[in-house]
């Protein structure tokens, strides 16, 4: 009975590690690439980087540029993904009902590839739900004012 309990606790521990993204904490298995965003929303270190729905890396660092007022996101891309075009587009998406954010990469058509220290220049910031609702309410209020 005790062996089954111990096995259950070990299984729960591994499940918790997978759900919390703590199982792959460092970027030692990939090459480093950066991207700049106006707004990263709730993106966090260790968030996934995906291409076509497949995880190709992780976010390893998030910093702030005091000159341009942009967020600088450093990603570790898996070494076996060395053929990502250098004109790739990076977008911040929200996954699932819990709203976990990740970076989605849309490949470009360039024949040159990203490598260590590469920069993704084409980015789309996170959509902030409060801003979208505010814009919608503001446009509805203007429609009501112009009807009088």
Where along the chain do its domains lie?
Answer: 27-141
Phi, psi of 132 (to 5 degrees): -65, -45
pTM over the 0.75 mark:
no
The backbone torsions φ and ψ at residue 86, rounded to the nearest 5 degrees and listed phi first, read: -75, -5
Which residues lie closer than 8 Å to 122 by C-beta, 6 or more apart? Answer: 87, 88, 89, 90, 108
Please give the radius of gyration of the chain, using alpha carbons only, rounded to the nearest integer: 20
Judged against a pLDDT cut of 50, whether residue 27 lies above it is answered with no
| Short-list 85, 86, 73, 81, CA closest to 125 | 73
User: Would you say residue 20 has pLDDT above 80?
Assistant: no
106, 139 Cβ separation under 8 angstroms: no
Task: Determine the Cα–Cα distance for residues 39 and 49; give it in Å rounded to an integer.
Answer: 17
Provide the pLDDT for residue 18: 66
Contact 116, 81 (CB under 8 A): no
36-73 confidence digits (pLDDT tens): 999 998 899 999 999 998 999 999 999 999 999 999 99
Q: Using a pLDDT cut of 90, give the percent of the chain over it.
A: 43
Facing residues of 73 across strands?
A: 35, 62
The CB-based long-range contact list for 128-137 (8 Å cut-off, 24+ gap) reads 128/39, 128/41
The pairing of strands 70-78 and 30-37 is: antiparallel
């Amino acid at each position: 009975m005790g062996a089954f309990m111990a096995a259950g606790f070990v299984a729960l521990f591994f499940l918790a590690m997978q759900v919390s993204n703590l199982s792959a904490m460092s970027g030692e298995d990939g090459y480093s690439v950066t991207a700049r965003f106006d707004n990263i929303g709730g993106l966090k270190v260790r968030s996934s980087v995906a291409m076509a729905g497949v995880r190709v890396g992780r976010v390893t660092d998030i910093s702030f540029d005091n000159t341009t007022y942009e967020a600088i996101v450093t990603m570790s891309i898996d070494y076996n993904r060395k053929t990502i075009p250098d004109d790739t587009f990076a977008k911040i998406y929200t996954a699932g009902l819990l709203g976990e954010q990740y970076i989605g990469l849309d490949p470009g058509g360039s024949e040159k590839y990203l490598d260590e220290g590469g920069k993704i220049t084409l980015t789309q910031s996170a959509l902030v739900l409060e801003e979208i609702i505010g814009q919608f309410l503001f446009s509805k209020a203007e429609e009501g004012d112009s009807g009088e």
